[in-house]
Amino acid sequence: MLSEKNSTIVALSTSLGTGAISIVRLSGEKAIEIADKLFSSLKNKKPSEFESRKLELGFFNAQNFKEQILCVVFRAPFSYTGENLVEFQCHGGVRIAEGVINACIDCGARLAESGEFTKRAFINGKISLDKAEGMMDMINAESEAEIRAGFNLLGGALGKVATASQSALVDLLSDIEVSFDYPEEDIEYTTKEKAKNKIAKINEDILSLISTSNAGRQIKDGISLLILGEPNVGKSSLLNSLTKSDRAIVTSIAGTTRDTIEETLVINGLKYKIIDTAGIHETEDEVEKIGINRAKSLISGADMCLCLVDCSKEENDKDREVLSLTKNSKRIIVGNKIDKTNKPRQNADIYISTKSEKDVNNLKDLIYSKTADKNITSGLVITNLRHLDALKRAQKHLENALLNIEFQTLDLISVDLNLAYSALGEITGSTTGEDIINSIFSKFCLGK
């Protein structure tokens, strides 16, 4: 609920479990009043008398325990939520934090919902939706590239572009409004030409953002690397040696891997999703057949195929099939089992041995250099599907406006411009509906 602004909420803001300290946050109209009932400093001062943002040592008096802890008061609007906010920093441990929370609840607070502190920050204008999402992306990041993308969002890089495009649209809409007042044809004509150029410029800006979304998907989900090759060529061994794990079963029995196996790997700060597959060959085994078809069906969607061949042997039909299946894909031909031969008997882009680990690190470097385009490693990237969807809808309306401007009057164009404006506003949250806002914050962690 966006409307329930007045209740005072409380939650554990550090993670649940045993640790050095726990921080309990209390936010809302009665936060300081509640804190006054529970805490007094060593000098016998109450939180309402504390200086803002200054830690005070004192005693927390709950019904069942008395504990020496730290307390800090943030007064509205200069707090994370924009409301009065009190933080209690106590010794770590589930029971102590629980005691502090329960005491706050007994005094009139209620337990916060997931993301409710940040939702209040949004409602109070402390943070825009895109920034809040960037912060969450940083918290959940598994790679440096994700942290960078989250940091960009949190810094407002996307919000700035969206807001700039919105204000360009507002300018344009007011120009159009003026032209209604002077409807002589020549004025209409110049306004039309000007309008066309302005719309085209905004459209270009948005298209260039949309064009980063593939890189954004790769940053968030990982760049997919599909390992393909005949049975026993060393696919599962490669997955294990790239990820330094024993994730996939390795045996000398052909057909061991029947389903796809996925693992995550980070190379130079980029996340990769490695997929081990069933070996490609003719088989009567029904389960293996399904696995082989699955492997084939993944080829077109993979960001990169690693085609494994056994370079100690001559090329065979199965190798040829793998190479023909991937001929239109981005791929690296990897000659495995170089430890078994002095001279490779097949052409490959790189020769390695998963057994002796020879040149596996060079393969990582090669993978990185062939997949890390500049969209991924720098600049503003669209990593969030909600943002992408809003941009695409805005772009569609701008395109409509550009199509129609030739043979429609400007007042009709302004309908599409208004729709583009409101689609862009969904990014920062200025035009986002309550349901969507609630669903975004519900995905945040408790106490955030």
CB neighbour list of residue 150: distance below 8 Å, 6 or more residues apart: 134, 135, 136, 137, 138, 139, 141, 383
Residue 236 touches Mg ion, criterion: CB under 5 A: yes
Residue 291 touches ligand GDP, criterion: CB under 6 A: no
Select the residue interacting with ligand GDP from 30, 131, 235, 387 (CB under 6 A): 235
Residue 8 touches Mg ion, criterion: CB under 5 A: no
Q: What is the distance between the alpha carbons of residues 218 and 295, in angstroms, rounded to a whole number?
A: 20
Cα–Cα separations (whole angstroms), residue 345 to 66, 311, 419 = 77, 5, 62
Counting Cβ atoms within 10 Å, is residue 284 exposed (0-12), middle (13-18) or buried (19+)?
Answer: exposed
Residue 252 touches ligand GDP, criterion: CB under 6 A: yes
- Which 126-185 residues touch Mg ion, going by CB under 5 A? none
Residue 236 touches ligand GDP, criterion: CB under 6 A: yes
Strands 223-229 and 304-310: parallel
- The tokens for 418 are 């208004």
- Which 255-274 residues touch ligand GDP, going by CB under 6 A? 256-257
Q: Closest Cα partner for 275 from 262, 294, 288, 287?
A: 262
Residue 252 binding target from Mg ion, ligand GDP, none, CB below 5 to 8 Å by type? ligand GDP
Q: Closest Cα partner for 174 from 429, 414, 433, 443?
A: 414
Residue 237 binding target from Mg ion, ligand GDP, none, CB below 5 to 8 Å by type? ligand GDP
Q: How far is the CB of 234 from ligand GDP (least distance, A)?
A: 3
φ, ψ dihedrals at 43, nearest 5°: -90, 15
Residue 418 binding target from Mg ion, ligand GDP, none, CB below 5 to 8 Å by type? none
Q: How far is the CB of 297 from ligand GDP (least distance, A)?
A: 19
Outline where 245-305 has alpha helix (H): 286-298
Residue 232 touches Mg ion, criterion: CB under 5 A: no
Asked if 322 and 229 count as a contact pair (C-beta separation under 8 A), the reply is yes
Select the residue interacting with ligand GDP from 68, 167, 208, 251 (CB under 6 A): 251
What does the per-residue mask of binding to Mg ion show for 59-88, with x meaning CB under 5 A? ------------------------------
Residue 363 touches ligand GDP, criterion: CB under 6 A: no
Which C-beta is closer to ligand GDP: that of 232 or that of 384? 232
How many chain residues bind ligand GDP (CB under 6 A)? 21
Cα-based torsion angle of the residue sequence 163, 166, 170, 173 in order, rounded to the nearest 10 degrees = 170
Residue nearest to ligand GDP (CB): 234
Give CA angle at 141 (365, 303), nearest 5°.
Answer: 45
Residue 337 touches ligand GDP, criterion: CB under 6 A: yes
Residue 257 touches Mg ion, criterion: CB under 5 A: yes
Which residues of this chain interact with ligand GDP, rule CB under 6 A?
229, 231-237, 250-252, 256-257, 279, 336-337, 339-340, 353-355
